[in-house]
Structure 1
Amino acid sequence: MEKPVGSLQEEALKRKERLRAIRSKQINNKSPDDEEPENKRPLDEAEEMKHRELRLRNYTPEDEVLKERQVPKAKPVSVEEKVKDQLEAAEPAPVIEEVDLVNLAPRKPDWDLKRDVAKKLERLEKRTQRAIAELIRERLKGNESDLASAVGAVKGNDGNGSDSE
């Protein structure tokens, strides 16, 4: 079912002939819609004169006709006023009127860590105090008899060593 190589070449030649015929028809039968774009049209004489008018900016001609086409020299703009405005805008206004000594003093390297951990430490400190109080209560309950005897011993040793009252 494959076509032989010779027939493929013949088909290619026929296709080229058809394309040539179409191109030649397009060249011979130009319609008004196929006009050239405006940028490829030749310029009218008025437009041509407008674009070709001489303006002499850097050249001082000797001919009187050309002197009429010379552009007057531009005067430089006063730079001093612009520079003054820029300098005034660049001057910093006194923003800080009072100096805070706390902000000037150097801080310890871990001040931010202490600041961030302070709230957590407060909670832990409260819990620690509760835990210590609880431990003391437990010891007191377990050792009530020892405590009572210790308190009695302290009362018995008051004075100069005698128990007479």
Structure 2
Amino acid sequence: MGDEDDSIELAAASRRERLRALKAAQELMNTPDDDSAQVDDKTNDEDGTTEEQNPMKFRNYVPQDKHLQEGKLAPAVLPKFEDPVAAAPPPEKEDPFLNIAPKKPNWDLRRDVQKKLDKLEKRTQKALYKLMEEQEKQQLLTEGDDTNGAAD
């Protein structure tokens, strides 16, 4: 049990140290800047009270109240921006279609219909062969008729 008590005490001590560090950091964050310190330090010598100052500062807004207009800040001056892209010379204009090598416009149709075309080609060849055989038979018959009639 002694070990548990020691570990609890160590945890509590480390927590206290972290809280002290956080408080110190918060105090540093809350310390007044040079500008705000000057506003707070103005005191009226006659009665020893501070003059009521306007804590608001306006950069983009013009207040209607004259008392608030004292808090208007000058607009921020931006440095001149030079665009590196605009300074570069424009690239030479090339026709983008010269470098493209397109496929033939009907390449997908040929791919999809190729099997059917092969079948039709075979049928066409068979039909042409049959027509040629018929023509040869017709020629043989006409030649045979011519020879028979002349022999009489």
Q: Provide TM-score, normalisation by structure 1.
A: 0.34
Q: Provide TM-score, normalisation by structure 2.
A: 0.35
